[in-house]
Each structure stands twice: as C-alpha cells, then as structure tokens.
C-alpha cells in the first residue's frame, strides 16, 4: 500500500484567504483524489487529480474554488480559494496504484481546516 503524507495537518484561516494543501505519495501512483469530510459526515469526492491535464471535478465543485495541480505521479496540491466558514472541513488526499475495478485507494492523514 502507498504511504501518503499531507501538509499542513491543520490550519486556521481567515475568510477570504486561500490555503494550499500538499499531498505526497511515497511511490508513483496512477490515480490521486481529493475528498472533503465535514464533521460527522461521510466522504465526498471533490475531484480526481490527473497527471499532466486538468482535474476532473464532481458535481458541485468547480476549478475556480478548488484549483488542483498534479505535476507528477507522486504529488498533488489542492487550493481552497476565497474561503468562507462553510469550507471548514477535513480535506483528504487519496491515491490508487492502479485504475480499473481492482485498484484499492489509500488515504493520507487529512488536513483539518477551520475558517473564521
């Protein structure tokens, strides 16, 4: 299984500012994903980070609000832009070494974001 790290682990930000979250995998992976988990809720997929091309966003999430980069097969960033208190959540990066029906996803430790 892949070992995934995220930075920062937590942050408190003022509304209107932006925060970039970094995700590093210890090996090359095919797929990387960004999720949001609000308090007491399950995981919601924000987008799939595609290496060398624009991310694929899920319904309700847009690039202007959550720009994503994936410059190589081990690294991705998610930016939460123009933050509001509603963006307070845990943001999770995940990775899968292979696509298709048999690819398992592993998660990073998460970034706990509080917007004041």
Where on the chain is the footprint of other proteins (CB under 8 A)?
1, 31, 33, 41-43, 45, 48, 90, 92, 96, 99-110
Closer to other proteins by CB, 17 or 58: give it.
58
Closer to other proteins by CB, 85 or 101: give it.
101
Question: From CA 76, how far away is CA 47, in angstroms rounded?
Answer: 12
Closer to other proteins by CB, 10 or 15: give it.
10
- Minimum Å gap between C-beta 91 and other proteins is 10
- Minimum Å gap between C-beta 93 and other proteins is 9
- Minimum Å gap between C-beta 25 and other proteins is 14
Instruction: Count CB neighbours of 51 within 10 A.
Output: 17
Within 54-102, strands assigned E span: 56-57, 68-72, 75-80, 89-96
Q: Is 28 left (phi over 0), alpha (psi -120 to 50) or beta?
A: beta
Closer to other proteins by CB, 5 or 82: give it.
5
- Minimum Å gap between C-beta 98 and other proteins is 9
Question: From CA 114, how far away is CA 98, in angstroms rounded?
Answer: 33
**Is residue 16 within 8 Å of residue 79, measured between CB atoms?**
no
């Amino acid at each position: 299984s892949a070992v995934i790290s995220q930075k920062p682990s937590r942050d408190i930000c003022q509304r209107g500012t932006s925060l970039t979250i970094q995700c590093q995998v210890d090996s090359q992976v095919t797929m990387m994903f960004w999720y949001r988990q609000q308090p007491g809720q399950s995981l919601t997929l924000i987008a799939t980070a595609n290496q060398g091309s624009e991310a694929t966003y899920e319904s309700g999430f847009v690039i202007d609000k959550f720009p994503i980069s994936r410059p190589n097969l081990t690294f991705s960033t998610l930016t939460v832009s123009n933050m509001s208190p509603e963006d307070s959540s845990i943001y999770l990066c995940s990775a899968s070494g292979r696509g298709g029906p048999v690819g398992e996803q592993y998660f990073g430790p998460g970034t706990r974001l509080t917007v004041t």
